[in-house]
Chain A
Amino acid sequence: MELITSLLKGLWESSGFTLLTWQNMVMIGVAFVFLFLAIAKKFEPLLLVPIAFGILLANLPGSGIMDDLTLSQVFGGDGSLAGGGHWYDSGVLRILYAGVKSSIFPCLIFLGVGAMTDFGPLLSNPVSLLLGAAAQLGIYIAFIIAILLGFTPQEAAAISIIGGADGPTAIWLTGKLASHLLAPIALAAYSYMALIPLIQPPIMKALTTKKEREVKMTQLRKVSKTEKIVFPVIVLVLIALILPSVVPLLGMLMLGNLFRECGVVDRLSDTAQNAMNNIVVILLGVTVGATANGESFLKPQTLGIVALGLTAFIFSTVGGVLLGKILYIVTKGKINPLIGAAGVSAVPMAARVAQNEGRKYNPTNFLLMHAMGPNVAGVIGSAVAAGFLLLMFQ
């Protein structure tokens, strides 16, 4: 009888129930909410499902799925280096997390994004690039506010990049500058990207007049295949010479785009767009989610990051729309300022928002292709902004 009692006691003590902390329980609740939002409300489900499941896995106590090697495994009992520990003794998600820390996953995502991106609308209307640049305003506003709130320059830079509305860029920069903030920054970035249809329209409406929103833009120029092939190669060389720190991201983006446009490596383009991209999204999502451990995530600092992320998003939208208004005046009404809001990356969600808002005021209006220009320019703009911040604070 005593044996059974001690056996049951041992079983209970080694179970997750005794190890469960209130932080773990809160985070498990957060994972359930995210799963609900992703599955029932379809908020960025491709990313939110793996991220939410990663949060769940990391907060199930005792599983060791995100554990690092212990000191005794590395150094041995007597303090010698030969502890017999190996890298594969770490938790399985900790091993996969190396893909985030080493920037492999964000860069591979950029390869896939490049293979999916059509730069045609940007090439036919180069002014789009200025809208994509103006829509990075929020990054710098958030940076200043973060410094005011007492974050270190590295932390402020990593938080501010949420305003670029580009998940892989945010993860890439945060991994390099403030990896301890990776979970809240990645979650804030992806959550706000999912909420773009709710965040942007009131700002777009507040900053524009009915007349401006009704502007119908003229047909875009047809771009030749050669232009589309030349663009990724030359632009990469140009940017790399000015800002070399941005090469890992933009290099992969442009390589993916060259796969797409050159027309001789269709299999590679297809793999980059689909199979490879999907695999990396799974690994990236689960491992980023798994960094949201209750003890490190539930801090007042996280609320500050979430608030700063929203501020960055709002000011980025404001920047894009305001330049759109200036261009509306300069071109004597040929540019609809609503497309400026699409400069915040988040491809193609932000462009769709511009299209939907435009159609509300003029049902015959079709702004999608016009908005795709600033939208893809925003991807380049946020990568350049990240490269600049990395250069400043690494």
Chain B
Amino acid sequence: MKIAPHFLGIFTDIYGSNDAMNIPKALLIALVGFLTVVSILAVIALFIKLIAFIFSLIEKKKSSKPSTIITAVNDSPTPKKTAVTLPDNESQGELELVGVDEATAAILMALVSYKTEIPLNKLAFRSIKFVEEVE
């Protein structure tokens, strides 16, 4: 546990404030300081990757047990379509708007994308229709 601080302690003894500072020493301290920041943050980045990997494994295990909702979707009579990957700035097909303005349609599509976690370029909307409330 004390290896890292001890190592840096040795560095302080050699190059620290007790010695007169000259340019080569300043350059060395700057270099080591910058590398320290980069390496510590790189370690954190690797650690985040590790956490994400562990959590994705847990999620996979969970998703191997199909939920009722997924079964219902799979059993629905809607014909299965092959997904076409498009560039990020393109959408699929034509969209029919009935009684809905473009801004509202955009918000609805963004909401569906967010809730389903499917990127917009992989979602196909055929029509968005305003439905009158029936009393």
Contact = CB atoms under 8 A, between A and B. Distances in A.
B17 A393 contact: yes
B44 interface: yes
Given A126-B45, A148-B23, A153-B17, A243 B30 contact: no
Contacts of A222: 117
A389 B33 CA distance: 8
B46 to A, nearest CB: 8
Contacts of A218: 88, 119
A177 B59 CA distance: 48
B70 interface: no
Contacts of B31: 140
Interface residues of B, number: 38
A364 B90 CA distance: 12
A136 B55 contact: no
Nearest to B11: A392
Contact of A144 (B1, B5, B23, B47): B23
A133 B38 contact: yes
A80 interface: no
B43 interface: yes
Interface string A210-242: 000000101101101011001100110011011
A384 interface: yes
Interface in A335-384: 364, 377, 380-381, 384
A391 interface: yes
B45 A384 contact: no
A385 B37 contact: yes
B8 A136 contact: no
A130 B36 contact: no
Interface in A110-140: 122-123, 126-127, 129-130, 132-134, 136-137, 139-140
A136 B34 contact: yes
Contacts, number: 121
B34 A129 contact: no
A34 interface: no
B111 interface: no
A244 interface: yes
B33 A123 contact: no
A392 B33 contact: yes
Contacts of B1: 241
Nearest to A224: B55
B124 to A, nearest CB: 17
A81 interface: no
A147 interface: yes
A238 B43 contact: yes
A243 B29 CA distance: 15
Interface string B1-33: 100110010011001110001010011011101
B41 A380 contact: yes
Given A144-B26, A384-B37, A385-B33, A238 B42 contact: no
A147 B34 CA distance: 16
A242 B40 contact: yes
Given A126-B45, A238-B43, A243-B4, A144 B52 contact: no
Contact of A130 (B29, B30, B38): B38
A143 B26 contact: yes
A173 to B, nearest CB: 12
A331 to B, nearest CB: 14
B100 interface: no
A4 B23 CA distance: 66
Contacts of B17: 153-154, 392-394
Interface of A: 122-123, 126-127, 129-130, 132-134, 136-137, 139-141, 143-144, 147-148, 152-154, 156, 216, 218-219, 221-222, 224, 226-227, 230-231, 234-235, 238-239, 241-244, 364, 377, 380-381, 384-385, 388-389, 391-394
Given A148-B26, A377-B41, 20 more contacts: A126-B48, A129-B41, A132-B41, A139-B33, A143-B33, A144-B26, A153-B17, A154-B17, A156-B26, A218-B88, A222-B117, A224-B55, A231-B51, A239-B44, A242-B5, A243-B40, A380-B41, A384-B37, A389-B33, A392-B11
17 contacts: A126-B46, A126-B48, A126-B49, A133-B42, A140-B34, A144-B26, A147-B26, A148-B26, A153-B17, A221-B52, A224-B55, A241-B1, A242-B40, A364-B89, A385-B37, A388-B37, A392-B15
Closest 4 CB pairs of A and B: A140-B30, A126-B45, A133-B41, A147-B26
